[in-house]
Structure 1
C-alpha cells in the first residue's frame, strides 16, 4: 500500500495580555497568574493539534473504507469468474459469497 503523507496544520495562538492592577499583598500572585496563562496557551495549542489529528484520522478512515470496498468488489468478481470456470468448487464459492 502506498504511504500517504499528510501535513498536520499547526497554529500559533496569541492571547492578548490582560491588564491587572496589583494591590498590596498581590505581587506574589503574579508568578502564579503567569503560570496559569502559560498553561492555558499550551492547552489551547494542544487542542488545536488534536483537532487537526482528528481530521487527518477521519480522512484516513474514509480512505481505508474506500480501499476495502474496492478489494471486496474485486474478490467477488474473481470468485464469480472462478465459479463460471470451475463447477467442482461452485457450491463452496456460492456458500462463501452468500
Structure 2
C-alpha cells in the first residue's frame, strides 16, 4: 500500500510570505485558488505552467477549502500589505 505524502506547507511553517504553499516551490495555495476557481483555468493548465503535478494543484485547492480561517487571515494580511505598499509609494497611477 502506498503512503500518502502531503506537500502543502502551512502558514505557520511557510517562508513564502507566511502563506501556505506547495513544498519545493513558491506557488501559494492562494495563487492556485485564484487561477483555478476565480479565473477558470484547468488544474492541468496550472500544473503544466508551473512544473507541478496535477495532484499538487488539487491538494492546494483542498487545503484552501479545508482551512477557511487560515486562508481568510492570509487574504486579509495580503490586502493590508497591498494597501501599505500603495500608501508608501511615490508613484501615482495614470488617469483613466
Query: Structure 1 or 2: larger helix share?
Result: 1
| Superposition TM-score, scaled by structure 2 size | 0.29
| Superposition TM-score, scaled by structure 1 size | 0.29
- Larger gyration radius, structure 1 or structure 2: 1
